[in-house]
């Protein structure tokens, strides 16, 4: 442990990053509240079900794992409507969303029967459903499905992709869709 903050030794001004922390129980509410406060980019993951139906969902867990080879991860519940398709699928499409994609982010997180009702997508490589007008889409081959309790971490290796119009990134924070703001 380091010695006391030298600023504090010579003055009694408040050092703003020394706020006492109140313990909270690791209960469901505290955990959910913590992740609601942690901003995340918004993505849509799509694939084809074994019967050829398009399936997909809005995800805030998309993360880069490696650049060489290009690997990304996303997390999902095995109770999710898309999980039976993800288990069987060879590939998925990862879409990174911009501000103008907010309506499709909401559609793809709503009732799964209506997620592909509309003209907001087309068939891309391998017949995979590609959502139109996104900032970036990437086709990824599923290389791992790590299961933990009733959840899974899916690892994909990016094979192909495309870029749409530039747009403000779409964020999800405190249960609200936002765009990035001022420099911190």
Among residue numbers 65 through 124, which ones bind a copy of itself (CB under 8 A)? Answer: 65-75, 77, 96, 99-104, 116-120, 122-123
Regarding 17 and contact with a copy of itself (CB under 8 A), the answer is yes
Footprint of a copy of itself on 122-161 (CB under 8 A):
122-123, 130, 132-138, 143-144, 146, 148-151, 153, 155, 158-161
In angstroms, what is the minimal distance from the CB of 105 to a copy of itself?
Answer: 9
CA-derived radius of gyration, the chain = 20
Give the number of C-alpha atoms closer than 13 A to the C-alpha of residue 174, restricted to the C-beta side: 3
Place of tokens 């699928």: 89
In angstroms, what is the minimal distance from the CB of 12 to a copy of itself?
Answer: 15
In angstroms, what is the minimal distance from the CB of 84 to a copy of itself?
Answer: 18
CA distances to 39, 109, 173 from 130, rounded to whole Å, are 25, 16, 25
Of residues 126 and 178, the one with the C-beta less far from a copy of itself: 178
In angstroms, what is the minimal distance from the CB of 166 to a copy of itself?
Answer: 8
In angstroms, what is the minimal distance from the CB of 114 to a copy of itself?
Answer: 11
Of residues 88 and 143, the one with the C-beta less far from a copy of itself: 143
Q: Which of 31, 50, 90, 114 binds a copy of itself (CB under 8 A)?
A: 31
Regarding 52 and contact with a copy of itself (CB under 8 A), the answer is no
Nearest to 54 by CA among 91, 79, 98, 101: 91
CA distances to 7, 8, 44, 147 from 3, rounded to whole Å, are 11, 11, 48, 44
Q: Which of 34, 53, 88, 90 binds a copy of itself (CB under 8 A)?
A: 34
Helix or strand holding residue 123 (H, E): strand 121-123
Distance CA 65, CA 40 (A): 16
Nearest to 43 by CA among 121, 95, 92, 93: 95
Regarding 14 and contact with a copy of itself (CB under 8 A), the answer is no
């Amino acid at each position: 442990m380091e010695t006391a903050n030298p600023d504090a030794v010579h003055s009694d001004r408040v050092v703003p990053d020394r706020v006492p922390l109140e313990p909270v129980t690791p209960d469901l509410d505290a955990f959910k509240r913590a992740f609601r406060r942690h901003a995340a980019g918004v993505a849509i993951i799509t694939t084809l079900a074994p019967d050829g139906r398009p399936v997909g969902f809005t995800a805030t867990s998309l993360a880069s794992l490696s650049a060489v080879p290009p690997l990304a991860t996303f997390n999902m519940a095995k109770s999710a409507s898309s999980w039976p398709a993800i288990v069987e699928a060879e590939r998925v499409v990862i879409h990174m969303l911009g501000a103008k994609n907010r309506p499709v982010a909401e559609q793809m997180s709503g009732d799964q029967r209506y997620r592909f009702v509309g003209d907001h997508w087309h068939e891309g490589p391998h017949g995979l459903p590609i959502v139109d007008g996104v900032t970036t889409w990437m086709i990824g081959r599923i290389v791992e499905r790590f299961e933990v309790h009733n959840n899974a971490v899916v690892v994909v290796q990016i094979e192909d992709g495309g870029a749409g119009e530039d747009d403000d990134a779409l964020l999800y924070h405190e249960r609200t869709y936002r765009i990035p703001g001022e420099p911190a």
